[in-house]
Amino acid sequence: MSLLTILLISHSVHAAVLKHEVSSPTYKEFDYKEVCETFKVKEAILISPSSLTEMECFNKKIQLIDFCLNKFPMNKTLTRGYVDKEKKKVICEMSESVMISVSCDERDLKYCFEPKHGCEELKKIYGNRLDIAHFSMLEKNLNCYFSKPIGESLNED
């Protein structure tokens, strides 16, 4: 491979999540149809995931975290909702804590300008009902650690 080809390929590759660790996870699975019915789209003939975190029910876009928040209104460990394309299911994830690390290159650079604010934005994606327990910048990586508030029982729903 020529140097020019390697440079072009490496330049077009976006930054990605370097690490995503979830402690003591619990997963609840739901059919695509149930997601649509929850949001009053009863006759949803066209149901498909439009992204990892969003469903389309007959041209109505539904954020999967909203579905999970609706299903588990009191669960303090709800972290995220996403699509498992292989199983054709929507997954609601619950966890005691989440550690996420992103590279501060291209796609994820917006999270790195103000690390605390960046972690607040990442919390909406990976640790919805958890608190930011720690954040740091190491080299060119933003690290965020989310957990339940101190003093709360981890077994509470």
**3-state DSSP call for residue 56?**
strand
Q: Is the pTM of this model over 0.85?
A: no
Q: Tokens 């609601």 sit at which residue?
A: 92
* Distance (Å, whole) CA 131 – CA 28: 22
What pLDDT sits at residue 152? 60
What pLDDT sits at residue 19? 94
Q: Where do the domains of the chain lie? A: 15-22+96-147, 25-94
What pLDDT sits at residue 8? 30
What pLDDT sits at residue 107? 81
Mean pLDDT by 10 residues, the chain (157 residues): 31 62 96 90 75 88 95 96 94 97 88 94 95 94 91 53
Residue 35: partners with Cβ closer than 8 Å, 6 or more residues away: 47, 55, 57, 62, 64, 67, 90
Which tokens belong to 42?
Answer: 């009863």
Q: Tokens 């041209």 sit at which residue?
A: 59
State in Å, rounded, how far the first CA of the chain is from the last one: 55
State how far the alpha carbon of 100 is from the alpha carbons of 36, 63, 85, 122, in Å. 30, 21, 22, 8
Sign of CA dihedral 10, 13, 19, 25: negative
